[in-house]
Structure 1
């Protein structure tokens, strides 16, 4: 397919249908800090290691700027229905809007739940049995229809019911952001209180002398004395490129099965969702100190990667992806938008099961006043 060729429904369908078709769609996108080349950006920090920086054999230092899991968690909520006082999200009609009620009229969308259909919150609600049946159907027959009709983004971004059935489905869509050839920086700071509290007899001069400079002291924790903070993580200076790679795994897509009647429609529907998510404009505010934009001087290009490694340019954009997803939306019978309720008893029972298996002591439920299970003012 040449880059100038118009992308048709037939050509997109072939990505889902043709077992000898491309193995993947891939986008390589160069990003820039809003500060421009040479700007300092702040990667995510991880327990025990700080920044995730790998050193290659040639000495190149590569920093993870946004992981596969983090990118998935940023993309999945694009399908969530907007609040009532906002313009309706056109992507929300592509998937069932499943919400879990808890506390007093509070709800959380399944599109905001980290482990998707395999999350503890699902097992702790009256959605549990339907989710369990969908996973078991997949394990026993390979039929992913139950998952697709209830929580289709669990197929797009991957799901692992690791705490129950062990059903596991790979990601169809994977995105990651890395920075190449980075130098790690440090930063220091000094807090100075606006007044001398000891002079006002809030505490003694002796206490001030003892606790000043110790960030863990009670006076320092409350901001009453001088506190230095030295050699903290200060971001990374990027000498190479900041790159975002998006891959749509067409092999994994074509391994999805439904019933004898709906397998083709199921694959096409999931592909449509993946294309919409993959072409969604980047929300580059990843965290404080890390605001990225596409590099306008290096246009990003989609390519279809063949089994022989050949890479053919594909003219894929947000408009084409959304049009296709909307055209295929009704080819599969999805669940209606539904609300389910969190159950404290189900959560407690789930916890007791795993504690019993590990031989650990059981935990007691909190007693006393509190909102009843799933208390809500909505139906």
Structure 2
């Protein structure tokens, strides 16, 4: 939800074109700060992502004043959640208006499975692309961008790589900065733990699956094979139990207009406006707040989100940006630039092996 007020400027097509084109005087960024709430309400327990570190399973930083800040969703994770907004809806589902803004590029894996490039974590620089018959075209597009600064071929093949960033780190080293960057953090958090006890539904020792002696040795030992397979009682204590955010949960989203204006090419103005349209659609679209088990968030209706335009001198102006206005501009910009054709590439095991061999 976006607050519309009399003091906010309305982003017309001409104004948005200026944001994309005015290198000398254009604003530097568009920023959204959005307060989020757990569906259980203010102060409810939520679960951050966990990492393979027994001592520090959550990503929590302690500031100099002792305040603890937890990462709820990283920049990369947020990008991977926003990019599939542009996928074509499956058969039998309502049509997705965002899907018509970008080419639908899929890579067939055998006869039964396809992977959309919009689901590939590294986008045009992903291994799945290098392992398909799109490899040479993708490499050529990256090289043109690297050598000439022309992002047009990338926009024709995989335009969301311009919006969410891509790094062809395994090949040409071409690097596209993120135009849209989003992260969710919880502030002033307390960390909780949880414990549980598993009890099998039957006594397997009495069923002669193993002896009572073996049962006694294995019971309550989480490392024992019988416990790991669920045949004996085993406790789980001190496991990560989520956090409580006393200072609130906030999503910070930035549309980097400086990075956008660095995109060039023979049709640079139309390209930048196309990329801006996609960026605004991604930034204003309603997100699915189910981040993981135990973490379902929605925007706080009592603290509506506000868009702020940041000028070069630091001056900040409210912007009355809506999802409808973003989609209207994106559709107009896409028609001006020309959307690339839908593609269906084929994964080849031999290409994947060759890629591994070349790296080695």
**Structure-to-structure mapping, 1:289-368, within 5 angstroms:** 289-355=294-360
CA distance in 2 between partners of 1:61 and 1:5 (Å): 36
- The alignment covers a number of residue pairs equal to 353
Alignment correspondent of 1:84: 91
Q: Is it true that 1:227 corresponds to 2:234 in the alignment?
A: yes
| Aligned counterpart, 2:170 | 163
Q: What is the rounded CA distance, in whole Å, between the counterparts of 2:10 and 2:188 in structure 1?
A: 38
* Match 1:71 to one of 48, 68, 78: 78
What's the CA shift for 1:8?
1.3
What residue ranges of structure 1 are gaps of 5+ in the alignment?
356-379
CA deviations on 1:16-60 (whole Å, 9 max, x unpaired) are 112212100000000111111111100001222310000001111
RMSD: 1.2
The answer (yes or no) to whether the contact 2:82–2:287 under 8 Å persists in 1 is no
Residue by residue over 1:242-283, the C-alpha shift from the partner in whole angstroms, topping out at 9 and shown as x without a partner, is 000010000000111011xx1100000000000000001121
CA distance in 1, matches of 2:119, 2:10: 35
Q: Which residue of 1 aligns with 2:16?
A: 12
| Structure 2 unaligned residues grouped into runs of 5+ | none
Structure 1 segments (4+ residues) deviating >4 Å: none
2:172 match: secondary structure = coil
CA separation of 1:4 and 1:61: change in aligned 2, threshold 3 A = closer
Alpha-carbon contact 2:149-2:264 (below 8 Å) kept? yes
Report Cα offsets for 1:212-269 as digits up to 9, x if no partner.
111222211221110100100000111111000010000000111011xx11000000
Calculate the TM-score normalised by the size of structure 2.
0.96
Looking at structure 2, the residues matched to 143 and 21 of structure 1 have their Cα atoms a distance apart, in angstroms, of 21
Cα displacement (A) at 1:128: 0.2
2:196 corresponds to which of 189, 202, 205: 189
- Cα shift at 1:182: 0.3
> 2 CA distance for matches of 1:3 and 1:263?
33
Please state if 1:279 is matched with 2:284.
yes
Q: Which moved more, 1:17-26 or 1:244-253?
A: 17-26
Q: Could you say what secondary structure the match of 1:198 adopts?
A: coil
Q: Counterparts of 1:9 and 1:217 in 2: how far apart (Å)?
A: 65
Instruction: Check conservation: 1:2, 1:314, Cα contact below 8 A.
Output: no
Report whether the alignment pairs 1:32 with 2:37: yes
The Cα offsets for residues 68-117 of structure 1, whole Å up to 9 and x where unpaired, read as: 00000000000000111111211110000000001223100000000000
| Aligned twin of 2:133 | 126
Matched, 1:236 2:243: yes
CA contact (8 A) 2:101 2:339 kept: no
Structure 1 CA distance for aligned equivalents of residues 6 and 209 of structure 2 = 75
Deviation at 1:132, TM superposition (A): 0.3
8 Å contact from structure 1 (residues 2, 313) kept in 2: no
| Aligned mate of 2:153, from 129, 146, 169 | 146
Rounded Cα–Cα distance in structure 2 between residues aligned with 1:236 and 1:279 = 28
- Are 2:51 and 1:23 equivalent residues in the alignment? no
Taking the aligned partners of 2:140 and 2:9, their CA distance within structure 1 comes to 43
Q: Give 3-state SS (helix, strand or coil) of 1:50's partner.
A: coil
- State the TM-score, normalizing by the size of structure 1: 0.91
Supply the distance in 2 between the matched residues of 1:270 and 1:84 (Cα, whole angstroms): 28
